[in-house]
Chains A and B, each alone.
Chain A
């Protein structure tokens, strides 16, 4: 497999530039699936989300998940980038882009990585409220945990 890029960053994610890395200068990539997860404002009640992470473990865990995906499908490259710190509504929280020769492996690889990232990568979201009130920590969804069993 060629490029495996895993990165955490406080700055906004340039989805187009990061995705281009998967195909530039090569002719074997026939499919790139990108998933972007965005911050919602929940009907105007939120001014953003604060993303806390476990430095040292977050990157290692995403790398482990990406390598597992690369072992299961014939992937030609993976980019997984996750924001930390304060993220505003409409901004990208996470980008997962997966390249392969054909679409099936790219779709499956991207979905696998996102499913495991959601409940295994050590990140926690806290709401920032538009009215300035104390925000809540976002609860984990049982459906996210259940999503792992299909793999």
Chain B
């Protein structure tokens, strides 16, 4: 699945986007975050406080318990600070 990162999450992970092969059984946004957290120190640092992470599937906001379904792009980012 294509995953894109923004702001300090992007800086901590180290890349703006990547394609990650998800194991069977990873079905929700929250489960993706748990999986990513185990991929290395940079990921563990990026996702050390999962509760602050916001997510979008195919560019629409979703809660962390949302199923991935047929979505092509998952975005993970900190709370937004526009305006």
B residues engaging A (CB < 8 A)? 4, 6-8, 56, 59-61, 75, 77-83
- Shortest Cβ distance from B10 into A: residue: A52
Q: How many A residues have CB within 8 A of the partner chain?
A: 29
Asked if A121 and B59 make an inter-chain contact with CB atoms under 8 angstroms apart, the answer reads no
Say whether A4 faces chain B, with CB atoms less than 8 Å apart.
no
Given contacts A58-B82, A121-B82, A121-B83, 5 further A-B contacts (CB under 8 A): A52-B7, A56-B59, A57-B75, A122-B77, A124-B6
User: How many residue pairs at the A-B interface have CB separations less than 8 Å?
Assistant: 71
Asked if A122 and B82 make an inter-chain contact with CB atoms under 8 angstroms apart, the answer reads yes
Asked if A124 and B83 make an inter-chain contact with CB atoms under 8 angstroms apart, the answer reads no
- Other-chain residue from B77, B81, B83 in contact with A54 (beta carbon distance below 8 A): B77
22 examples of A-B residue contacts, CB within 8 angstroms: A52-B7, A53-B82, A54-B6, A54-B56, A54-B77, A57-B56, A60-B59, A61-B61, A82-B82, A93-B82, A117-B82, A118-B80, A118-B82, A122-B6, A122-B75, A123-B81, A124-B77, A125-B81, A137-B8, A137-B81, A139-B79, A140-B78
Asked if A124 and B80 make an inter-chain contact with CB atoms under 8 angstroms apart, the answer reads yes
Mask of A25-55 contacts with B, CB within 8 angstroms, 1/0:
0000000000001000000000000011110
A10 to chain B, nearest CB (A): 15
Say whether A72 faces chain B, with CB atoms less than 8 Å apart.
no
Say whether A97 faces chain B, with CB atoms less than 8 Å apart.
no
- Shortest Cβ distance from B11 into A: residue: A137
Secondary structure call for the A interface: mixed
A residues engaging B (CB < 8 A)? 37, 51-54, 56-58, 60-61, 82, 93-94, 114, 117-126, 137-140, 145
- Shortest Cβ distance from B56 into A: residue: A57
Asked if A137 and B7 make an inter-chain contact with CB atoms under 8 angstroms apart, the answer reads yes
- Other-chain residue from A60, A94, A120 in contact with B80 (beta carbon distance below 8 A): A120
